């Protein structure tokens, strides 16, 4: 009973929040009537940016969705985002329907352009596309220029950049190195 009550409160809170965002930025946000965003999810849509939400999108506590000027973030129907995820969009991020994210996933469609210097605030931008019915494991980092096909599984702790074909289980293996400080010359 308590869970049902919490879900109803989250849906009502989300509706009120998105109506206010829509009033402040009429062209910047499109949403369905029923969305379930935890009250402590940060949603920022700069003027000129667009956030498009499909039906029944669920986002848990501690998440951040940030859409900057001229950027478009599209999240299709029935997407579930677990605790403490962050999606930061400066160009284009698209998430297909039925995709689920484990806790702590980070998605970026940009990198800092360090050659220009940090004070210049210039970025290298590339689209991020995540297909339908994917599972993205906990603490995964998805970088600019990544395309993940439909029905993929990305193992927890992966760093993903590039293309992953549909139906793939992506496991990033790392070599464990145990050496003393002396062997590293420290």
Domains of the chain listed by start with CATH number: 2-170 (2.160.10.10)
Per-residue pLDDT, 130: 98
Alpha helices in 2-52, H assignment, sequence order: 2-24
The pLDDT of 141-162, averaged and rounded, is 96
Nearest to 106 by CA among 75, 140, 133, 138: 140
Q: Which residue has the higher pLDDT, 174 or 151?
A: 151
The pLDDT of 125-131, averaged and rounded, is 97
The pLDDT of 109-134, averaged and rounded, is 87
Residue that the structure tokens 């940090």 belong to: 118
- How much helix, strand and coil, in percent to the nearest 5, is found in the chain? 15, 30, 50
Q: List CB contacts of 3: < 8 A, sequence separation 6 or more.
A: none
Q: Catalogue the active-site residues.
A: 112
Sorting pLDDT into bands at 50, 70 and 90, what band is 4?
Answer: confident
Q: pLDDT tens, 22-41?
A: 888 888 888 888 888 988 99
- For residues 121, 125, 88 and 54, what is the CA-based torsion angle, rounded to 10 degrees? 150
The sign of the dihedral angle between the CA atoms of 66, 139, 142, 117 is: positive
Per-residue pLDDT, 107: 98
The pLDDT of 131-140, averaged and rounded, is 98
Compute the mean pLDDT over every residue in the chain, rounded to the nearest whole number: 90
pTM of the model: 0.88
Q: Which residue has the higher pLDDT, 68 or 15?
A: 68
């Amino acid at each position: 009973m308590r869970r049902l009550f919490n879900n109803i409160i989250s849906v009502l809170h989300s509706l009120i929040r998105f109506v206010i965002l829509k009033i402040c930025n009429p062209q910047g946000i499109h949403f369905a009537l029923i969305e379930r965003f935890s009250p402590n999810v940060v949603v920022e849509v700069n003027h000129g940016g667009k956030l498009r939400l499909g039906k029944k999108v669920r986002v848990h506590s501690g998440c951040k969705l940030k859409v900057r000027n001229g950027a478009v973030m599209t999240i299709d129907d029935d997407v579930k985002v677990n605790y403490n995820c962050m999606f930061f969009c400066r160009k284009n991020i698209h998430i297909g329907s039925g995709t689920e994210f484990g806790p702590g996933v980070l998605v970026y469609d940009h990198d800092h352009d360090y050659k220009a210097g940090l004070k210049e605030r210039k970025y290298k931008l590339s689209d991020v596309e995540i297909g339908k019915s994917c599972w993205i494991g906990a603490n995964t980092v998805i970088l600019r220029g990544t395309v993940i096909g439909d029905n993929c599984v990305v193992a927890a702790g992966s760093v993903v950049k590039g293309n992953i074909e549909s139906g793939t289980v992506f496991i990033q293996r790392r070599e464990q190195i145990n050496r003393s400080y002396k062997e590293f010359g420290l």
